[in-house]
Each structure stands twice: as structure tokens, then as C-alpha cells.
Amino acid sequence: MLTQRPRGMHDILPDEAPLWNEIEETARRMCARYGFVEVRTPVLEHTELFWRGVGETTDIVEKEMYTFTDRGGRSVTLRPEGTAGTVRAYVEHKFYGGSQPVKWFYIGPMFRYERPQAGRQRQFHQFGVEVFGADDPAADAEVIALGLDFLEAIGLTGLGLELNSVGCPTCRPVYRERLQAYYRPLQDRLCGDCRERLERNPLRLLDCKREICRSLAANAPQIGEVLCPACRVHDEGVRRHLDEADIAYRINPRLVRGLDYYTRTAFEVVEERIGAQGTVLGGGRYNGLVEEVGGPPTPGIGFAAGLERLILALRHRREDARAGADVDVFGIALGDEASVELTGWMRRLRRSGCRAVRSFEPKSLKAQLKAADRSGARWALILGEDERRRGVVILRNLAGGDQRELPGTELESWWTEETEHGGGQ
Ligand code: ATP
Ligand code: MG
């Protein structure tokens, strides 16, 4: 136990950290382009916030939260998602009183007690954005565009955008009834969870991942048939904005999102190659949420992207996801004097921007070349006693195997040229 991390929780080790940084930097850069600013809220909130803000009939609240009583006897919960805390902060600091819209983003860890599998963890990370105080379909399109631009910028391609409307408090009750009428005669064939959901939150039956429930969902009534005129106008508006921005989408009438506070627009971005856990980004409009959490009626829309799933998807694409650990030159010294001199060469190389690492304890040439290979370096810089006396170094191209001798004084200009000719980065 002592040397084992909790199930579903992961270490991000140094070989992965650069990729994480790259993704987070890309998120920040894209947000700046779209005029979103960062907010950081606590990882712990009062449990009631999630009952209200996520919804008591959701999987998250029913069975996935890390909830405990603190030493003061209050029930607190590790945040399972980012929107509720963000809304709490918006209301608590009275941002609704300032100029609207308020456009925020966040990046951070989330906690859900789920069954761990590839792309599904108990601690995971989300990048999410929220727009408060805008009901315009242009805001929906802007949020979707930001999500797609971010995914493209980190190098994901071949993504599918799925779109639906989940209606509003005017038309959704009608849809709920239609769904219940469709499913009641089929009750015996549903999975246990869905049988329970049928009376409390029938929309979620469309979202069930079990094979039998999915096949029944295929013929279920679609919400498009019952949308109220206002929702229909909004939905058409979103599509016009997306069309104008050259954003392709597929209408998925079974796309409902697991959360209760969503109204109208619901969307997901799916990556086909990572299978069952293929949704890398999901979001939608939540016009009822701010009021639910105690603020004035305020429209809102946002998305959250799961960073682990993005990394998984990226890994399928670039087998060299470890590229973050790239090394340009691996320094090898043979003998004590050479080792001292190598310290000088390494520092000069690094100061010219070269990523250089070296062996430390005295080892054979063979052992050091092996270490150089493992490091992924493109060049080994070899300095033996003989070379040291002659004032030269050996540069071996680890990929090609050829090597040459270079006067030590030319080492830095060699590196500069190497970078300029695209050999470096
Ligand atoms: P799913 O249907 O896959 O459980 P969800 O509807 O619960 O997803 P959201 O609450 O909308 O997901 O969260 C947004 C994104 O966060 C998901 O699309 C996914 O990329 C990521 N995500 C959600 N739960 C997890 C988890 N347990 N581990 C890793 N990533 C997750
Ligand atoms: Mg889930």
C-alpha cells in the first residue's frame, strides 16, 4: 500500500510533463485569442453545490463523488467537474452585476469514483470554458469554435462534432413524457440502472452505454419533434453561425449529456480511434444553472475537455509522444580529466540552446553509448584522453552511425549550424 498510488489516480512523470505543459499552454493561447480569462477555484466545495449544480439524478452525484465530513462537521466534496465551482464563484463575487458576458476558462484536476479503464480515471484533468450572460447563438458557436481550434492546435485531426438541442423547461417535459411512454412497455428489457432512471430522468436512457439500451434508444422519439419555437429558433441560429464559420457537425438526436442543468445546445467532440472513451470534449448551454445555484437568472454555455483522453488520442497519432523528453547531444567522457573538460563543453552547448545531458559516474564507452541511445539523443559527443590532449571532440550521429572529429573551438558553431539547417528544433 505504502508504495502504491490509489486506484484510478496517476503520476504524471517527467517524461510526460512537457506534453502536459504544451497542451495547457495551447489552451491558454487559444483562450486569449477568444477573449477568455482564467479562473482558479478550490478543488473542494460544499457538497450541496454539486447536488444543486450537477443534479441529484446524475451518475456523478448518485455514485461518483468523493464526499467526506471535514473536522468541522461539514460535508465537503472533491470537485467532480468544473462548472459548478465556476458558477459559485461568479455568483459569490457578484460578477453578474458587472458588464456581461463574463468569459472564463479553467484547467485543473477533477475527481470521480468511477471504474478505472483507459481514458477513465478517478483523478483526471479538464480544460473548460464558460460564458455567462449571453443567450445569443453566436456565443454557442464561439464556444464550439474555441474547442475545435484548441483540439486542432494540439495536433488532433479527424474529429467529429455532434450537435443536438435538449430543449428547455417549456418543451423538455413534453419530451420526457414521450420518452416514458415509449420506454414503459419495454421496461423489462432495459438494464437495471435505466429501469430506475425511467421515472427520475428518462433522458439519460438515451445516453446509456449498454448494448441493449442502445438498441432500444435507436427507435426512441427524438427531441427535434417537440422543441418549442424559441428552442427551434435558437438551434437554427447555432447551425447558421457554425455554417458561416465552416464548422461541420452531425446532428445526433441521442446526444443528451448526463447533467440536468443543460438547456438547448448540447455538443460533443468525438475521436473515433479511442473507442468507448472517445468523447474528448463535451459541453452545452445551461441557462438554468446560475439561478439554481442562487444567482439571478443568467444564461450560460461552456464545455469541458478531458486532458487524459486528449493525450491518449495524441498518442495514437504520434507514437513519439515522449518527444517532450528529447535530447540533442549526449556527452560521453572517458577518464577523469576528460570528464572535467566535458563539463565545460556541456555548459557552452546548453547556453547555445542545445539540449545536452551526460553520464556521470565513470563507465565504459559501451555503457555510455547505450545510455546515449536510451536518451533518444541524436548526437553523442565523445571525449577521450587522446581527444582531450589534441583539443578535439568526436561527434557521432546516433541515428546514422557515422562520426567525425571536430576542434573543440568549433563545437558551438557546429551546433548553431545544426539548428539552422533543421537538424535541431
Ligand atoms: P462519459 O460519458 O465518458 O463518462 P461524461 O459525460 O461523464 O463522459 P463530462 O462530465 O461531460 O463527461 O466531462 C467532459 C469530459 O471530461 C469528457 O468528455 C471526458 O473527456 C472527460 N472525462 C469525464 N470523466 C472522465 C474520467 N473519469 N476520466 C477521464 N476523463 C474523463
Ligand atoms: Mg461520466
Q: How many CB atoms lie within 10 A of CB 267?
A: 26
Q: From ligand 2's centre to the CA of 60, what distance in Å?
A: 7
Taking each helix axis from N to C end, the angle separating 47-54 and 83-92, rounded to the nearest 10 degrees, works out to: 110
Q: Taking the mean position of all CA atoms in its chain, how far away is CA 234?
A: 28
Q: From ligand 2's centre to the CA of 99, what distance in Å?
A: 34
Q: What is the pLDDT of residue 110?
A: 98
Q: What is the pLDDT of residue 424?
A: 40
Q: What is the pLDDT of residue 425?
A: 39
Q: 125 or 157: which carries more pLDDT confidence?
A: 125
Q: What is the pLDDT of residue 226?
A: 93
User: In 204-238, which positions are buried (b, 16+ CB within 10 angstroms) versus exposed (e)?
Assistant: bbbbbeeeebeebbeebebbeebbeeebbebbebb
Q: Which ligand is nearest to the CA of 121?
A: 1
- Report the chain's terminal Cα–Cα distance, integer Å: 43
Take atom 9 of ligand 1 and give the residue whose Cα is closest: 282
CA dist 342 to 27, 32, 201, 281, 388, Å? 40, 43, 68, 48, 9
Q: What is the dihedral of CA 344, 349, 352, 356, to 10 degrees?
A: -130
Atom of ligand 1 nearest to the CA of 281: 18
Q: How far apart are CA 230 and CA 80, in angstroms?
A: 32
The three cell numbers of residue 249 are 457537425
The three cell numbers of residue 143 are 464556444
Please tell me if the CB atom of residue 306 comes closer than 6 angstroms to any atom of ligand 1. Answer: yes
Q: Which ligand is nearest to the CA of 284?
A: 1
Q: How far apart are CA 213 and CA 198, in angstroms?
A: 12
Q: How far apart are CA 57 and CA 50, in angstroms?
A: 11
Q: What is the mean pLDDT of the chain?
A: 91
What average pLDDT does this structure show over 194-220?
A: 89
Please tell me if the CB atom of residue 114 comes closer than 6 angstroms to any atom of ligand 1. Answer: yes
**Bond preceding residue 253 cis, omega within 30 of 0:** no
Claim: this prediction has a pTM higher than 0.75: yes
Query: Is residue 158 left, alpha or beta, with left meaning phi > 0 and alpha meaning psi from -120 to 50?
Result: left
DSSP assignment of 227-269 equals --HHHHHHHHHHHHHHHHTT---EE-TT---S-TT-EEEEEEE
* Structure confidence by residue, pLDDT tens digits, 369-415: 999 988 889 899 999 999 999 999 999 988 777 899 999 999 999 99
What average pLDDT does this structure show over 410-422?
A: 82
Q: What is the pLDDT of residue 350?
A: 94
Q: How far apart are CA 354 and CA 350, in angstroms?
A: 5
Please tell me if the CB atom of residue 116 comes closer than 6 angstroms to any atom of ligand 1. Answer: no
User: In 272-304, which positions are buried (b, 16+ CB within 10 angstroms) versus exposed (e)?
Assistant: eebeebbbbbbbbbbbbbbebbebeebbbbbbb
The three cell numbers of residue 65 are 463523488
Q: What is the pLDDT of residue 276?
A: 64
H-assigned helices in 154-246: 172-183, 192-200, 211-217, 229-244
The answer, yes or no, to whether residue 324 has pLDDT greater than 70, is: no
Q: What is the pLDDT of residue 57?
A: 82
Residues 6 or more apart whose Cβ sits within 8 Å of residue 230: 168, 170
Please tell me if the CB atom of residue 112 comes closer than 6 angstroms to any atom of ligand 1. Answer: yes
* Structure confidence by residue, pLDDT tens digits, 31-78: 999 999 999 999 999 999 999 999 888 889 999 999 999 999 999 999
Q: How far apart are CA 299 and CA 304, in angstroms?
A: 17
Query: Is residue 130 left, alpha or beta, with left meaning phi > 0 and alpha meaning psi from -120 to 50?
Result: beta
Please tell me if the CB atom of residue 39 comes closer than 6 angstroms to any atom of ligand 1. Answer: no
CA dist 75 to 6, 87, 113, 291, Å? 22, 19, 17, 22
Q: What is the pLDDT of residue 401?
A: 76
Take atom 20 of ligand 1 and give the residue whose Cα is closest: 306
Most distant CA atoms of the chain, gap in Å = 90
Q: How far apart are CA 329 and CA 351, in angstroms?
A: 13
What average pLDDT does this structure show over 129-143?
A: 98
Take atom 5 of ligand 1 and give the residue whose Cα is closest: 258
Q: Find residue 25's DSSP bridge partners.
A: none
Mutate to test the pocket of ligand 1, among 23, 107, 120 (most ligand atoms within 8 A of CB): 120
User: In 88-106, which positions are buried (b, 16+ CB within 10 angstroms) versus exposed (e)?
Assistant: bbbbeeebbeeeebbbbbb
Q: What is the pLDDT of residue 118?
A: 85
Q: What is the pLDDT of residue 234?
A: 98
Q: Find residue 372's DSSP bridge partners.
A: none
Q: From ligand 1's centre to the CA of 63, what distance in Å?
A: 15
Which residue is listed with cell 497519432? 317
Please tell me if the CB atom of residue 261 comes closer than 6 angstroms to any atom of ligand 1. Answer: no
Q: How far apart are CA 281 and CA 362, in angstroms?
A: 50
Is the CB of residue 290 less than 8 Å from the CB of residue 134?
no
